[in-house]
């Protein structure tokens, strides 16, 4: 899906390659058979869901998806929400279930 070996020189894309896509994304909503289709909102919803799901699978890659959200914003004007997932492991501290189990034994 993405390359972890990306650097700033690979991020440079000529303006003509993104201009066509940006025009399509920022176009007003389409009305087809009395249905409103907002391309930008659909793309934002899809990318937010995809980035969230991929971050939950591997918390180590969250930085990569944050960078991808940033690129989507600067190149295409997409406003993607941060999934607000923790940056580290969730195995820190006391576990609530273990506390309840110990409480029931006493």
Q: Tens digit of pLDDT for each residue in 10-40?
A: 555 566 677 778 888 888 998 999 999 999 9
Q: Which residues contact 93 (CB under 8 A, 6 or more apart)?
A: none
In a domain, 7, yes or no: no
In a domain, 47, yes or no: yes
Residue 9 pLDDT class (50, 70, 90 cuts): very low
In a domain, 63, yes or no: yes
In a domain, 2, yes or no: no
Range of the domain at 76: 14-105
In a domain, 1, yes or no: no
pLDDT, one tens digit per residue, over 40-68 is: 999 999 999 998 888 888 777 888 888 88
- Report helix, strand or coil for 94: coil
Domain count, the chain: 1
Q: What is the pLDDT averaged over residues 70-91?
A: 77
In the chain, alpha helices (H)? 8-11, 15-25, 39-57, 62-76, 96-105
pLDDT at 52: 87
Q: What is the pLDDT averaged over residues 74-102?
A: 71
In a domain, 89, yes or no: yes
Q: Which residues contact 37 (CB under 8 A, 6 or more apart)?
A: 29, 30, 31
Going 82 to 7 to 2 to 72, the CA torsion angle's sign is positive
- Asked if pLDDT for residue 106 goes beyond 70, the answer is no
């Amino acid at each position: 899906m993405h390359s972890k070996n990306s650097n700033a020189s690979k991020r440079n894309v000529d303006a003509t390659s993104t201009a066509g896509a940006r025009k399509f994304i920022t176009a007003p909503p389409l009305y087809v058979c009395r249905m409103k289709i907002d391309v930008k909102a659909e793309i934002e919803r899809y990318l937010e869901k995809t980035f969230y799901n991929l971050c939950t699978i591997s918390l180590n890659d969250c930085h990569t998806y944050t960078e991808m959200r940033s690129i989507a914003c600067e190149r295409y004007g997409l406003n993607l929400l941060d999934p607000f997932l923790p940056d580290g492991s969730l195995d820190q501290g006391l576990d609530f279930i273990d506390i309840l189990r110990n409480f029931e034994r006493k």
